[in-house]
Amino acid sequence: MEGIQFLVDEAGEPTSVLIDLAVWGETWEDFYDALVAHSQLGEETVSWEEVKAEIRAERTRETATHTQVSGSA
């Protein structure tokens, strides 16, 4: 297959793959995303609602800090 090379051990068993990113770059990105998702299986999840609430709270803190700094000059 063009752009794919298999590395083998002394017994001829494949151990690694070299992928030509010029040929397979987009496919590699999809594969890598799947690997990352798979590696995170079983990790604690956070709901989208919790994430939005955290972002809002951080923005509120930043605004309050900025207001205090600007107002004290």
> How many whole angstroms separate alpha carbon 28 and alpha carbon 1?
15
Cα–Cα distances in angstroms (integers) from residue 22 to residues 3, 7, 60, 70, in the given order: 8, 19, 45, 50
| 28/59 same-domain check | no
**pLDDT digits (tens), the chain, 73 positions:** 899 999 999 999 999 999 999 999 999 999 999 999 999 999 999 999 999 999 999 999 888 887 776 665 5
| 38/57 same-domain check | no
Please tell me the total count of domains within the chain.
2
| 73/57 same-domain check | yes
Instruction: Report pLDDT for 29.
Output: 95
Domain span at residue 20 reads 1-42
Distance, CA of 49 to chain centre: 20
